Amino acid sequence: MRNIRKGTGESRRGKETLLLILDSAKTILIEQGYSKLSMRKVAVGAQISVGNLQYYYPSKNDLLKDMLDHSIDEFMDEFERLRLGANNDPELHLKSIINFIVLDLGNPTTTTFYPELWALANHDEYADKLMDEIYARVRVPLEDSIMRLNPRLDFEQVQKVALFISSSMEGMTMFVGHGKVWNDSIQHMANIATMSFLQLVKNITPDDIQENSFELANHNG
Amino acid sequence: MRNIRKGTGESRRGKETLLLILDSAKTILIEQGYSKLSMRKVAVGAQISVGNLQYYYPSKNDLLKDMLDHSIDEFMDEFERLRLGANNDPELHLKSIINFIVLDLGNPTTTTFYPELWALANHDEYADKLMDEIYARVRVPLEDSIMRLNPRLDFEQVQKVALFISSSMEGMTMFVGHGKVWNDSIQHMANIATMSFLQLVKNITPDDIQENSFELANHNG
DNA sequence: GGATCAATTGTACAAGTGTACTAGTTTAGT
DNA sequence: ACTAAACTAGTACACTTGTACAATTGATCC
């Protein structure tokens, strides 16, 4: 709630409407996509008038910002809980993170919200900055596990392996997410991911990363 | 050009305008996102009148369909060329596919077009069907290589490993794509991907995939 | 029991939207 | 040269959009 009009949403009643608004906006984004998200629809969804909506969020952009913040906080809260209950064994910790993230893709909200965010980030500076922040935070526990499992890597290399693992999991969203063709296989995908990432982390050497590109695209056959 | 009005775009001149239209629409989708894509803007971009645009595409939806078809065909043509020049060695073939796809993510068009498509697929049936078709075709050469590199897997398992590899690469789009924070590391990411996927394909067993989920989320510590 | 400010409503407007429709111009075939 | 079809432009309409604004209700405090 950082983008509301100053001195607003401070009473109990005000806070309730604020949540109704954010919930309505999120629901519309998820069910209909950003192109169908309008102030009027949000107002209807929150069962308030357009004027009242504008009292809280003078512009659509202000609403969008807060909605993104709010939606992402919900995920980060859950993720933080997972971090706190971290296992001392880095391998088990890594496994639990992988399982958590991949299975979370099956959540209907996650399945549709994040692709919207990625598309938005290509044209909206705020969404772009927000994305960087979330995924940087998601990578932290990954980096920690990788570092401990493979001391040969320097931090820059650890970062890149963590980035690979994290982005790799995100990519499954469009295929194993809720309602997607391969949704039934989501647990199998989590298994493959676990096995694959663990082997990667244990066996990768600095040379594997730095290795020069071999020219294949041009002279193959 | 399957969704144009019947008996349209058959003269040389007509075909030219058709391409101008599709190009304009694609440019707007990439530069401004789907929410800003309007018939008027497309007409301006193609330097024709709205009326003329409607002559080719009676409805916005018809235009959208053809635009998606057309944009995807461009990628598939390139990809098909890669397939035809396939190496007999399945390992080299796999490597070349990985390198091609990952490095293609750095293409500005790819970077922004595909996230738009993924978001669209969550709310548009046609985009959803189209996505299934593209990625199924991308998976074919992957499945072929995997099958030859690891005969222990049955076809269903091969499919899942191919799906994992394919979706994994797509996930990098938002991080190493054009203009993204990690774009400089795109070749390193391709290296990690190559190393990781190759090890996965060679070493994975049917048991790794089928394995029951271990319960970690609930009782950790 | 006013005073003060948060919360809510309703209306209004300019700009943009998709699309229907009419009337022209250009092109190609005979 | 005539004709039919392909192509192009322009206008019009009903509807949605974001946002500005005035007016009213509600609650809280001294």
Which chain A positions have a beta carbon within 8 Å of B115's beta carbon? Answer: 115, 118-119, 121-122
Q: What is the pTM of this model?
A: 0.92
Q: Which pLDDT band, with edges at 50, 70 and 90, does A10 fall under?
A: low
Per-residue pLDDT of chain B (221 residues; tens, 9 = 90+): 677 776 676 677 768 899 999 999 999 999 999 999 999 999 999 999 999 999 999 999 999 999 999 999 988 998 888 888 777 899 999 999 999 999 999 999 999 999 999 999 999 999 999 999 999 999 999 999 999 999 999 999 999 999 999 999 999 999 999 999 999 999 999 999 999 999 999 999 999 998 776 554 443 32
The contacts of residue B28 (CB under 8 Å, 6+ apart) are B36, B37, B41, B42, B45
3-class SS letters over chain A: CCCCCCCCCCCHHHHHHHHHHHHHHHHHHHHHCHHHCCHHHHHHHHCCCHHHHHHHCCCHHHHHHHHHHHHHHHHHHHHHHHHHCCCCCHHHHHHHHHHHHHHHCCCHHHHHHHHHHHHHHCCCHHHHHHHHHHHHHHHHHHHHHHHHHCCCCCHHHHHHHHHHHHHHHHHCHHHHCCCCCCHHHHHHHHHHHHHHHHHHHHHCCHHHHHCCCCCCCCCCC
User: What does the pLDDT look like over A27-75, one tens digit per residue?
Assistant: 999 999 999 999 999 999 999 999 999 999 999 999 999 999 999 998 8
The end-to-end CA distance of chain A, in Å, is: 58
Q: Which residue is nearest to nucleotide C26 (CA to C1')?
A: B13
Q: Do A172 and B169 touch (CB under 8 A)?
A: no
Q: Residue A33 and residue A27: Cα distance in Å, rounded?
A: 9
Alpha-carbon dihedral A36, A41, A43, A47, rounded to 10 degrees: -140
Which chain A positions have a beta carbon within 8 Å of B197's beta carbon? Answer: 196
Q: Are A76 and A137 in contact (CB under 8 A)?
A: yes
Tokens of B217: 């989320």
Q: Which residue of B has its CA nearest to A86?
A: B221
Q: Are B107 and B178 in contact (CB under 8 A)?
A: yes
The contacts of residue B58 (CB under 8 Å, 6+ apart) are B5
Residue type, A149: L
Question: Does the pLDDT at position A4 exceed 80?
Answer: no
Burial of B181 (0-12, 13-18, 19+ CB in 10 A): middle
Average pLDDT over residues A125-154: 96
- What does strand D contact on the protein, if contact means CB under 7 A? A 11-13, 36-41, 50-51, 54, 58-61; B 7-11, 13-15, 17, 48-52, 54-55
Q: B2 in helix, strand or coil?
A: coil
Which chain A positions have a beta carbon within 8 Å of B195's beta carbon? Answer: 200, 204, 208
Residue B220: which of A87, A209, A210 has the nearest Cβ? A87
Question: Does the pLDDT at position A174 exceed 90?
Answer: yes
What's phi and psi for B123, nearest 5 deg? -130, -10
Question: Does the pLDDT at position A149 exceed 80?
Answer: yes
Instruction: Pick left, alpha or beta for residue B47 (phi over 0 → left; psi -120 to 50 → alpha; otherwise beta).
Output: left
Average pLDDT over residues A178-206: 97
CA of B54: nearest nucleotide by C1' is: C19
User: What does the pLDDT look like over B166-191, one tens digit per residue?
Assistant: 999 999 999 999 999 999 999 999 99
Which one is predicted more confidently, A39 or A212?
A39
Rounded to the nearest angstrom, the minimum Cα separation between B14 and chain A is 31
